[in-house]
């Protein structure tokens, strides 16, 4: 039980706290908590990658112990900074709001009294006209009848909207219940079903060796003997991240990879798809630029999540599909790239196309902070995802760069903004550095 609590702390609590740095003051945490966690998790991955690579190449003995110590300290530091920045930002906002209320409170009261006096004066000026019209054959009765028709129409429209809202709410409840059942079924099968895969002999055993021997990529997982540094996998340090979670939680590495990680990866994948559906159906947008009721948006996203879940369940048409990797190789880097990095790239593309590369909302007269510039920012998302791709697999570096550049090219042509292509190429600088180091090592 203690290991589970530690794992929740390092895997869920700390990344979420680190992601609070990117939540602007004008955003409700209730509506954007999933984006905060995604940002925090990606930030933690971006910090783990250079630390682990430096330990692998420059420290021969007990390099895993140094990696765990340094990264755990930095992860806790990022979480503390995130909470401190988020709390300080909101305290400053509340202080400014209170000061504004005190300064303008008297003016508001005076204005209300003036408006009330004007309304009373206008009402009194209408009384004589109504008295004069009282003797004019039934004009007042005609006006009352007209007002009655308008009232009946408004009341009928209101009842129709309420009925539609109740129907949308019922649809949303049914669809989200179906999605919950599908997700529970996937989690049950992922934990209770044993899938045999040859790559587990390498990746899971590398995580186990790191926790037991304290070295990374310095021993052969097939026979257990010492060997030279494995240059082919030295940069793909995702197994070392699993080993880190095993070390800080006390859960055996094999049990963590085969049983525990699917319970995290599957909901996390659907959390990303929920963010994608939010951008597609307007759940994350403000009410000014999206007019659908909340119940209808919830029904739309529920249908989308059910469709994604059904594709994941029945998408194992071959042993190479992303859905197959998600269910049978959840703990491998290739599975994480296909089911986490690629949807995140799609999410960044949607953000960029929605905002045309600009900051969300009207820029006139607003003060932008670093958090407001990075939140819902596809370019920053691309930068973090490219680092994650290198951690997952060496092939992911080329694939992510190709996806980003192709998407930015289409967006640049469609929006007639050539700079979008330039920005996309700049976000792929980590990929170029990764490939350069990989070629030098080979």
CB 35 within 8 A of CB 360: no
Three state DSSP letters for 17-39:
HHHHHHCCCCCCHHHHHHHHHHH
CA torsion through residues 388, 394, 397, 399, sign: negative
Neighbour-count burial of 355, counting CB atoms closer than 10 A to its CB (0-12 exposed, 13-18 middle, 19+ buried)? middle
- Residue-wise pLDDT for 274-286, tens only, equals 999 988 876 554 4
Whether the predicted pLDDT of 38 surpasses 50:
yes
**Residue 128 covered by a domain:** no
CA distances from 328 to 24, 241, 242, 325, 331 (A): 38, 19, 17, 5, 9
Q: Which element (helix H / strand E) includes 293?
A: none
- Residue-wise pLDDT for 132-143, tens only, equals 444 444 454 444
**Residue 139 covered by a domain:** no
**Residue 234 covered by a domain:** yes
Q: Could you tell me the two tokens for 232?
A: 């082919």
- Measure the CA angle with vertex 295, ends 294 and 300; round to 5°: 95
**How far is residue 329's CA from residue 12's CA, in Å, rounded to a whole number?**
21
Q: Could you tell me the two tokens for 93?
A: 């906002």
**Residue 110 covered by a domain:** no
Q: How many domains does the chain have?
A: 1
What domain range includes position 276? 2-102+168-441
**Residue 429 covered by a domain:** yes
- Residue-wise pLDDT for 41-90, tens only, equals 999 999 999 999 999 888 888 889 999 999 999 999 999 999 998 888 77
**How far is residue 248's CA from residue 328's CA, in Å, rounded to a whole number?**
25
Whether the predicted pLDDT of 293 surpasses 60:
yes
- Residue-wise pLDDT for 174-226, tens only, equals 999 999 999 999 999 988 887 777 777 788 888 999 998 888 888 877 777 77
**How far is residue 305's CA from residue 276's CA, in Å, rounded to a whole number?**
10
**How far is residue 407's CA from residue 333's CA, in Å, rounded to a whole number?**
23
- Residue-wise pLDDT for 92-125, tens only, equals 776 766 665 555 555 555 455 545 555 455 445 4
CA distances from 196 to 191, 209, 261, 426 (A): 13, 20, 16, 41
**Residue 431 covered by a domain:** yes
**Residue 108 covered by a domain:** no
**How far is residue 121's CA from residue 300's CA, in Å, rounded to a whole number?**
50
Q: How distant is the alpha carbon of residue 28 from its chain centre?
A: 14
**Residue 160 covered by a domain:** no
Neighbour-count burial of 102, counting CB atoms closer than 10 A to its CB (0-12 exposed, 13-18 middle, 19+ buried)? exposed
* pTM (2 d.p.): 0.80
Q: Which residues contact 183 (CB under 8 A, 6 or more apart)?
A: 266, 267, 270, 309
């Amino acid at each position: 039980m203690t290991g589970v609590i530690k794992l929740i702390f390092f895997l869920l609590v700390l990344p979420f706290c680190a992601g609070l740095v990117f939540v602007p003051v004008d955003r409700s945490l209730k509506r954007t908590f999933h984006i905060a966690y995604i940002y925090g998790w990606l930030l933690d991955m971006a910090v783990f990658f250079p630390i682990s690579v430096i330990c692998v190449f420059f420290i021969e003995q007990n390099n895993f112990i140094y990696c765990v110590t340094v990264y755990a300290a930095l992860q806790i530091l990022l979480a503390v900074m995130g909470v401190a920045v988020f709390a300080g930002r909101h305290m400053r906002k509340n202080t400014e709001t209170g000061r504004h209320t005190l300064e303008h409170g008297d003016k508001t009261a005076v204005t209300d009294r003036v408006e009330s006096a004007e309304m009373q004066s206008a009402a009194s000026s209408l009384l004589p006209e109504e008295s004069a019209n009282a003797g004019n054959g039934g004009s007042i009765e005609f006006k009352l009848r007209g007002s009655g028709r308008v009232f009946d129409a408004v009341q009928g429209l209101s009842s129709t909207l309420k009925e539609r809202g109740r129907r949308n709410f019922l649809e949303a409840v049914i669809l989200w219940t179906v999605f919950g059942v599908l997700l529970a079924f996937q989690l049950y099968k992922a934990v209770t079903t044993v899938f045999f895969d040859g790559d587990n002999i390498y990746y899971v055993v590398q995580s186990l060796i790191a926790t037991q021997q304290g070295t990374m990529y310095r021993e052969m997982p097939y026979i257990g003997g010492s060997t030279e540094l494995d240059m082919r996998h030295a940069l793909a340090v995702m197994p070392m991240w699993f080993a880190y979670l095993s070390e800080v939680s006390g859960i055996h590495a094999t049990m963590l990879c085969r049983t525990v990680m699917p319970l995290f990866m599957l909901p996390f994948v659907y959390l990303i798809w929920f963010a994608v559906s939010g951008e597609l159906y307007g759940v994350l947008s403000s009410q000014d630029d999206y007019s659908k009721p909340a119940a209808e948006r919830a029904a739309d996203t529920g249908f989308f999540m059910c469709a994604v879940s059904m594709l994941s369940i029945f998408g194992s048409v071959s042993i190479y599909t992303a859905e197959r990797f998600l269910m049978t190789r959840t703990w491998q880097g290739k599975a994480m790239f296909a089911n986490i990095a690629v949807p995140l790239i799609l999410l960044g593309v949607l953000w960029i196309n929605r905002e045309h590369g600009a900051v969300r909302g009207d820029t006139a007269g607003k003060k932008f902070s670093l958090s407001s510039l990075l939140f819902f920012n596809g370019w920053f998302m691309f930068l973090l995802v490219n680092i994650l791709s290198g951690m997952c697999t060496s092939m992911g570096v080329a694939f992510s760069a190709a996806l980003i550049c192709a998407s930015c090219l289409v967006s640049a042509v469609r929006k007639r903004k050539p700079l979008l292509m330039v920005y996309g190429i700049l976000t792929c600088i980590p990929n170029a550095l990764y490939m350069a180091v990989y070629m030098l090592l080979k």
